[in-house]
Amino acid sequence: MKAVRFSQFGGPEVLEIVDLPDPHPGPGQIRIAVRAAGVNPSDWKKREGLMDQELPQTLGYEAAGVVDELGEGVADVAVGDRVFGLSAGGAAQAELAVLSYYAPIPPSLDFPAAAALPAAIETATRALDQLGVGIGSTLLVNGASGSVGSAAVQLAVARGARVIGTASPANHDYLRSLGAEPVAYGEGLIQRVRALAPDGVDVALDVAGSGVLPELIELAGGAGHVVTLADFGGAREHGVRFSSGDAGRAVHALGEIGELIESGRLSLPVAQTFPLAQVAQAHRVGEQGHVRGKLVLLAS
């Protein structure tokens, strides 16, 4: 099968499309013929050598496609079913992928839209679970207009929370459409948030990693009420929880999301699609940082 791989660290030019042996699912896993695979910021961090030093590396943690092989003990899907999910092996940007966690694709979604969901939904749900967001909570999301941030906004609203979200002014109408109250990021953030919530917020989620943890701690009343997804160094410095999948993934979200999507209460836009062979261009677009929505590779 053809798959995305790199054998040296560097810019997008180190990415290659190579032939690798077809993978096979283990117990409880499935294999899909990939139709679409999501692209994430972790992809270029891995490519640059910022996450681990192993070489060569394959890429891709989320994909959507058609089941074509079942692992031992799998009885909840059948060959030919449309599914989306997460690849624990990190090799989903390929013609075939083994998924460890999966769910049926909601009927209204095509493959690219389904491939945009798993990582953002799992990450956002995990953080909201860790913060205990529920009915009556007031949540501040720093970096609310990207794929994870917008997922967090919509999931929190669906839980009955009030959401205040930071974004550039150009994205404020978008945040309002998701049910959030927008504020601009940058100097004066505390005053702008307190204009909306004079007593501060109950909890805060940092998606952007833009160095605002001290402000979030002040607004949320302590480091224990803040989770960051993007600022590992700041989390250690300020005693804030850094959320990663190492402590357990919120995979329950995959099976729960269909109802929200079909009822129109959650959507994650696909910003742009690229053929698998143009993965380097997808990285270039993503690294510019101006994308609203998900970048998706089309495997077939």
Go through the domains of the chain in sequence order and give each one's CATH number: 2-116+269-298 (3.90.180.10), 121-246 (3.40.50.720)
What pLDDT was estimated at residue 247? 60
Q: Phi then psi for 153, rounded to 5 degrees?
A: -60, -50
Per-run averaged pLDDT (10 residues), the chain, 300 residues = 97 97 97 97 91 93 98 97 94 97 97 97 96 97 94 98 96 97 95 97 94 97 96 94 79 93 94 97 89 89
In sequence order, what are the residues at sequence separation of 6 or more whose Cβ sits closer than 8 angstroms to the Cβ of residue 112? 35, 36, 64, 270, 273, 296, 298
* pLDDT (0 to 100) of residue 89: 87
Give the pLDDT score at 74: 97
CA distances from 295 to 157, 270, 275 (A): 24, 6, 11
Tokens in use for 246? 């190492």
Phi/psi at 156 (nearest 5 deg)? -70, -40
- Measured in degrees and rounded to the nearest 5, phi and psi for residue 133 equal -70, 130
Q: Which pLDDT belongs to residue 286?
A: 92
CB atoms within 10 A of CB 220: 24
Taking a C-beta distance cutoff of 8 angstroms, is the pair 175, 153 a contact? yes
Q: Which residue has the tokens 């009343």?
A: 221
Q: Terminus-to-terminus CA distance in the chain, angstroms?
A: 12
Q: 136: alpha, beta or left, given left = phi > 0 and alpha = psi -120 to 50?
A: left
Rounded CA-CA distance 108/57 in Å is 34
In this prediction, residue 171 carries a pLDDT of 93
Tell me whether strands 226-228 and 241-242 are parallel, antiparallel or unpaired: parallel
Please give the backbone phi and psi of residue 28, each rounded to the nearest 5 degrees, phi first: 80, 0
